[in-house]
Amino acid sequence: MTGPRDLDAEALYSELLARVRPLVRPDSALVGIWSGGAWLAERLQRDLGLTGEHGVISSTLHRDDYAQRGLAATADPTRLPFEVQGRHILLVDDVLYTGRTIRAVINELYDFGRPASVTLVVLVDRGGRELPICAACSAARVELPAGQRLSLARDAEGRFSFEIR
């Protein structure tokens, strides 16, 4: 278990890359959750030498807090430039917390077809699950107070860091 201040996003990315490699099958497709997960998927696609384009998925249309928070103004729409039907989907996110975003994007994914399997890989697992969801691999586990937000940031050169608010 690490504290949030010790997190080196670039080192963790290398760790994640090594752990994801054995999970990739010839018919796998990478889908990153907007926005941090999408940046990770874009880089993994390149570093794993996968052909084609990675997908980007948004939780906006299936969120369970719509009645409390309304419709988010910022998310990019889902863009899956391949057939979902019958594919082995590797779902990528930066931080796994309550699991509610994962529930929402799995629903979103199914609006495009029935995948053969969905495997979740995350950069950081911060615990605190509110749904029966777990990742196949994560590069680190951290503990944070419930009120704190941890998310991935990307600079102009494409280098990763963490934002803690």
Which residue in the set 81, 86, 113, 127 belongs to the binding site for another protein (CB under 8 A)? 113
Contact string (CB under 8 A) for another protein, positions 36-65, x = contact = ----------------------x-xxx---
Give the whole-angstrom CA distance, residue 68 versus residue 164.
24
Which residue in the set 59, 78, 101, 119 belongs to the binding site for another protein (CB under 8 A)? 78
CB 110 within 8 A of CB 124: no
Whichever of 111 and 163 has its CB closer to another protein, that residue is 111
SS (H, E, C) 52-88: CCCEEECCHHHCCCHHHHCCCCCCCCCECCCCCCCCE
CB 126 within 8 A of CB 66: no
Q: By CB under 8 A, tell whether 71 contacts another protein.
A: yes
Which residues contact another protein by CB under 8 A?
A: 58, 60-62, 66-67, 69-71, 73, 75, 77-79, 107, 110-113
